Amino acid sequence: MTVLTVNMDDALAGEVEEQAKRHGLPVPDYVTAVLRAAQTPGGRDREVLALELARGSYEQWNTAGRPETDAMTMDEVFGR
């Protein structure tokens, strides 16, 4: 694995941290997902980014042993 160090505007760094938190990902995982989506042919497409973010969240959840803490039941999901 390669470690990259970048310099960026403080405001942009803050936005990146906010978005990572919003998606429930550590900043490095969020940045990796965004960069992977950007490198995918047609990668600026929102669907590609959404899939990359979902994949990152899934991998994090899977690595954590698939916890169900604070999970919703199917009845809650479908409003039954």
What are the domain boundaries of the chain? 20-66
Task: Provide block-wise average pLDDT over 10 residues at a time, the chain (80 residues).
Answer: 88 92 88 83 72 81 86 85
Residue-level pLDDT at 27: 92
Residue-level pLDDT at 44: 61
Q: Residue type at 59?
A: E
Question: What are the Cα distances from residue 25, in Å, to 8, 45, 61, 64?
Answer: 20, 20, 10, 13
Question: What are the Cα distances from residue 62, in Å, to 1, 4, 30, 46, 67?
Answer: 20, 25, 16, 24, 8
d(C-alpha 76, C-alpha 7), whole Å: 44
Contacts of 44 by beta carbon, 8 Å cutoff, 6+ apart: 37, 38
Residue-level pLDDT at 42: 67
User: pTM score > 0.85 for this model?
Assistant: no
